[in-house]
Amino acid sequence: MPKNHPHAPHDDIVYPAAIPFVLVHVACFGAIWTGVPKQALWVALALYFVRMWAITAGYHRYFSHRSYKTSRLFQFCLALLGQSSAQRGVIWWAAVHRHHHLHSDNPEDVHSPPHHGFWYSHVLWIFNPKYGKPDYSAVRDLTRFRELGILDPNLYAPAALLAFTLLLWGGWSMMVVGFCWSTVLLFHCTFFINSLAHEHGSQRYLTGDDSRNNFLLALITLGEGWHNNHHHYQSSTRQGFRWWEIDVSFYVLSAMSWFRLVWDLREPPEAIVRGERPVGRKVLEKVAAELAGTFSVEAICDHLPTVPELREKAEQMFEAGSSLDAIVARAHEILAQAVAAHLGDKAAVRA
């Protein structure tokens, strides 16, 4: 990676901050000496799914997107359980995630594979000091809760307490297999949504970014793999829009709503699911620029593509939708402006 790259390794990665993260990975090899008891494996599996649900239904769908409501007591329980995954504080997580949606797959995005590469987007961005304290003004709805403000800076206290409890209960094998194995697996399966879900899968909706739907990722993350759906309509509690799109986190929340532990779960309107809502201006501009960018200025100076030609190209690049005509029209404007600017520059040089 070039030294002047915005994420050059020696400029933004604080290697000492990565030590605890690396140590948890190394500790997994302790199973060579502790053995792998069946009971510890079952505990690891249970902790993986319970804490993955706390991340997906709690950190993501509740704290980051406020897609349903719950009591203040259960809100704290969600935060505590989510923080036992060792993925930093709940307010920090929500602030970073909201920033991601604001700048999704733009250079300002904290973890965009097209701009920063797979490994940086998957894990290395976490150790960038720029993101040690994100913009907390974006999460004032969370910082007003005193108990969350106390929990958030104690980044790894819930995880350490969980590990110590497992050690006391089942010895070293329980801590190594039950805690470390499940935590490392949880790390990377969660991180796959930042990396793989922006590289591999299908794009049903035009979102102006590289978010994709991935069935396998949806299975291992309890529904988060329907990532293009989520970017299309972020306020929905349900991310599997179709009946066959498995979304375990939503199913659990639905069951909890029967007992009034949670309520006001949001689902996408039918028009949203069918893709009939026109895209916003920001997405339209980005997608139109992407379409226009497939033509070189030199080539279009000889022949400015017609609207039908641009539409044919757009249909190859994007799913047909209610905004395709607007995108094509805007791309035609961008290309016409580029030709005018290019010819103006050439005239200035000749003068």
Note whether residue 211 is domain-resident: yes
Same domain, 265 and 309: no
CA of residue 251 relative to chain centroid, distance: 20
User: What does the pLDDT average to over 28-55?
Assistant: 97
Same domain, 254 and 111: yes
Q: Given 240, 271, 302, which residue is the final one in a domain? A: 271
Asked whether 96 and 152 are in contact (CB, 8 A), the reply is: no
Note whether residue 21 is domain-resident: yes
Buried b (16+ CB within 10 A) or exposed e, 273-293: bebebebeeebbebbbeebbe
User: What does the pLDDT average to over 200-213?
Assistant: 90
Q: Given 228, 253, 271, which residue is the final one in a domain? A: 271
269-303 pLDDT per residue, tens: 998 898 877 766 667 677 777 777 777 766 677 67
Asked whether 342 and 301 are in contact (CB, 8 A), the reply is: yes
Note whether residue 323 is domain-resident: yes
Asked whether 9 and 1 are in contact (CB, 8 A), the reply is: yes
Nearest-angstrom CA–CA distance, 321 and 327: 10
Provide the β-strand partners of residue 69.
263
User: What does the pLDDT average to over 104-132?
Assistant: 87
Same domain, 175 and 301: no
Provide the β-strand partners of residue 70.
262
Average pLDDT over the chain, rounded to an integer: 87
Domain of residue 323, residue span: 281-350
Same domain, 76 and 216: yes
Least confident of 211-215, 216-220, 258-262, 297-301: 297-301
Residue with tokens 């199973």, as numbered in its chain: 31
Same domain, 112 and 240: yes
Res. 145: pLDDT tops 70: yes
Provide the β-strand partners of residue 262.
70
How many domains is the chain built from?
2
Same domain, 198 and 291: no
Which residue intervals of 223-306 are DSSP H helices? 227-232, 248-257, 270-273, 281-292, 297-302
Same domain, 39 and 61: yes
Note whether residue 3 is domain-resident: no
Q: In the structure encoding, which two tokens stand for residue 303, read together? A: 């022949």
Percent of the chain with pLDDT over 90: 60
Same domain, 54 and 125: yes
pLDDT of residue 335: 77
Res. 170: pLDDT tops 90: yes
Same domain, 321 and 267: no
Same domain, 263 and 287: no
Note whether residue 232 is domain-resident: yes
Note whether residue 276 is domain-resident: no
12-41 pLDDT per residue, tens: 555 566 788 889 999 999 999 999 999 999
Same domain, 128 and 262: yes
Note whether residue 1 is domain-resident: no
Same domain, 306 and 262: no
Residue type, 9: P
Higher-pLDDT residue of 271, 257: 257
pLDDT band at 6 (very low <50, low <70, confident <90, very high): very low
pLDDT band at 9 (very low <50, low <70, confident <90, very high): very low
For the chain, count helices (H), then strands (E): 20, 2
Q: Given 230, 245, 271, which residue is the final one in a domain? A: 271
The backbone torsions φ and ψ at residue 239, rounded to the nearest 5 degrees and listed phi first, read: -110, -20
